[in-house]
Structure 1
Amino acid sequence: MEPIRILYFSDVLCIWAYIAQIRLDELKATFQDKITIEPHFVPVFGTAREKLENRWQDRGGLQGYADHIQEVAKKFDHINVHPDVWTKVTPPSSTSCHLFLHAIQLVATKGLVERDTLEKATWAFREAFFTQLANVSDRKVQFEISEELKLPIAAIETQIHSGEAYAQLSKDFELVKEHTVTVSPTLIFNEGRQKLNGNVGYRVIEANIRELLHNPPGEQSWC
């Protein structure tokens, strides 16, 4: 049986995706080669400051959103969030970061770094923002994080300058439209027929996977 393909959409600046990483790790440990998690990016914070100021204008603006993030973070012991996140440093856009991460993914695909480097880099970018207030939309900061991870900067730049990383980012935009993804994180199973949005508990995700394992697409199921 082919492994179950899971499309996983997230935004690097999303607190819920930061929280959800532990669930992805558990899924991989539990199901191993029975699933493949395919990472994609959705630009929830494509225009971060403008979006937050507009959507939170009646609830304290950017400061109101920052306070909300602190309240959310208190409920989860496995993450750390700096008390000044989103207020002291407000990245203009997550899109720059997503582009850079796609360049890292291409470098991994070409065998220049380990295959799980994208996942490690994505976590490093999230952690840098939420715990160190790093402006991860800034290319200098992206280089600094890459150097800490001992990644080949020149090779990453080549993927951006050649246009290949932009092509991968464009594919994400197309998939976002195709599957009407508006929330980070979003998991899509069963060729788009099943979708889990936002802060979904691990047991719910696990149940969806086990149902697909026991009732593969195309087979009859009583439910």
Structure 2
Amino acid sequence: MNNNEPLVIDYFSDVLCIWAWIAQRRIEEMKEEWGEQVLLRRHYINLFGDTKTRMAKQWGERGGYEGFGRHVQDAAAPYDNAPVNPEIWKTVRPKSSLNAHLVLKACELAYSPQRSADLMLLVQKSFFVDNLDVGLLDNVLLLAKQSGMDSDALKTLIDEGDAAALLMSD
């Protein structure tokens, strides 16, 4: 690496992961301090691809969705800049993070990795703070549209498999 090339960091996460929500503030601090000297490449992995099975296997004897919701609140409590809705996982239970990840990859293809990262932060906030079901494709496409993106173009990239192909490369 010469002095003109940024340090590349491959960052793997899932939009429904509380630790990714908490870590976002550190990522922002890193970008503020190091600017273009660091290039963060986001990759999305299947942590919450099937939340029903995850909750049954990992949280079935610890309160299921409600127990996991308490865990999420407890994990975020020490971090003022990672607010969490007290109803998290109680009333809104995304079945999968797949649709959100597909929209984010479509955004990356149609716009840029930075626009996708901005949308990812909005998706996370919409889930963790606003208690929006970001497992629903229409909800995530609406967030993209509200951010000034062409949701029809994103949907086409999903329908034609381009977004899935890019996601599978993660």
TM-score w.r.t. the length of structure 1 is 0.72
Consecutive aligned runs of 4 or more in structure 1 exceeding 2 Å deviation: none
68-77 or 154-163, larger mean C-alpha shift: 154-163
* Residues 107-148 of structure 1, C-alpha deviations (whole Å, 9 max, x = no match): 114xxxxx5211110000001011111111111101221122
For residue 147 of structure 2, what is the aligned residue in structure 1? 149
Aligned counterpart in structure 1 of residue 120 of structure 2, from 122, 127, 132? 122
For residue 19 of structure 1, what is the aligned residue in structure 2? 22
For residue 54 of structure 2, what is the aligned residue in structure 1? 51
Compare relative contact order (CA 8 Å, sep 6+) and give the higher one, 1 or 2.
1
Counterpart CA distance in 2 for 1:133 and 1:156 is 23
Q: Note if contact 2:69-2:89 (Cα within 8 Å) is conserved in structure 1.
A: yes
Could you say what the CA RMSD is over the residues aligned between the two structures, in angstroms?
1.2
1:98 partner SS: helix
TM-score w.r.t. the length of structure 2 is 0.93
For residue 93 of structure 2, what is the aligned residue in structure 1? 90
Q: Note if contact 2:7-2:38 (Cα within 8 Å) is conserved in structure 1.
A: yes
* Shift in Å, 1:150: 1.3
Is the helix fraction higher in 1 or 2? 2
* Residues 41-90 of structure 1, C-alpha deviations (whole Å, 9 max, x = no match): 01100111220221112222221111111111211101221111111010
Aligned counterpart in structure 1 of residue 169 of structure 2, from 168, 171, 175? 171
Number of residues paired by the alignment?
167
Counterpart CA distance in 2 for 1:53 and 1:86 is 13
Rg larger for:
1
Counterpart CA distance in 2 for 1:131 and 1:42 is 22
Task: Kindly report which structure 2 residues correspond to 1:1-223, keeping only aligned pairs within 5 A, or say none.
Answer: 1=2, 2-109=5-112, 116-172=114-170
1:17 partner SS: helix
